[in-house]
Amino acid sequence: MGAEVRATDAALIERVVQRDEAALAALYDRYASMLSSVLNRILRDTQATEEILQDIFFQLWSRPSRFDESRGSLPGWLLVIARNRAISRLRRHNPAAGDEISENFVALPVNFESTVARKQMLDRVKGALENLPREQRACVELAYFEGLTHSEIAARTGDPLGTVKTRLRLAVETLKRTLHSAAT
């Protein structure tokens, strides 16, 4: 067990390619909770969350070649896939909604293989979001957790489009500064 905990993502993926079930279990243990949290926040549906979570890891098992290091880091890729799937699921109930965001190269600014690093970053992100002005935080949450665009946020909140754009831009600038300093 200790060896699994210390193994890098790349080493575990290589073992998944060799059909090593313990390696997949180790990756699940490392990242399932993080993915489950974001899926559940977007979907607010435990059953749908668990279906998608299981399917993401089953796909990682079935087609590990879909992930390669050119996509950056495994947790970054998994988080993008999880968010895309959850928002797609949400939008199936909303015929007016747009297309799914394509997943691609994702470069996480930190190494998530260590539980300590994950915890530190979790505290940092929560702190950064809590420190945003309320309206900016609301815009970020509507965009990230509900998949809404500028104009959809404006329609939802009743705020002018320009105001929404300014709030999101300011929020993104602040988060970028905060997360950059956390990663260096």
Contact status: 129 vs other proteins (CB under 8 A):
yes
The rounded distance, in Å, linking the Cα atoms of 76 and 54 is: 17
Shortest separation between residue 69's beta carbon and other proteins, angstroms:
3
Q: Is 122 in the site for other proteins (CB under 8 A)?
A: yes
Tell me which residue of 71, 107, 131 sits closest to 180, measured CA to CA. 107
Binds other proteins (CB under 8 A): choice among 115, 133, 160, 176: 176
Nearer to other proteins by Cβ, of 87 and 93: the residue is 87
Asked if residue 149 binds other proteins (CB under 8 A), the reply is yes
For residue 71, the minimal CB distance to other proteins (Å) is: 8
Q: Is 30 exposed, middle or buried (0-12, 13-18, 19+ CB in 10 A)?
A: buried
For other proteins, how many residues bind (rule: CB under 8 A)? 77
User: How many angstroms separate the CA atoms of 75 and 81, rounded?
Assistant: 10
Interface residue with other proteins, options 11, 106, 111, 157 (CB under 8 A): 106
Instruction: Please identify which residue in 7, 15, 26, 49 interacts with other proteins, judged by CB under 8 A.
Output: 49
Q: What is the DSSP string of 22-64?
A: HHHHHHHHHHHHHHHHHHHHHH--HHHHHHHHHHHHHHHHH-G
- Would you say 6 or 119 has its CB closer to other proteins? 119
Cβ–Cβ < 8 Å for 12, 23: yes
Binding to other proteins (CB under 8 A) within 53-92 occurs at: 53-55, 57-59, 61-63, 65-66, 68-70, 72-73, 75-76, 79-80, 82-83, 87
Least distance from C-beta 70 to other proteins, angstroms? 4
Q: Which two tokens stand for residue 177?
A: 């500064």
Q: Identify the burial level of 108 via C-beta atoms within 10 angstroms of its C-beta, where 0-12 means exposed, 13-18 middle and 19 or more buried.
A: middle
Considering beta carbons, is residue 141 or 159 the nearer one to other proteins?
141
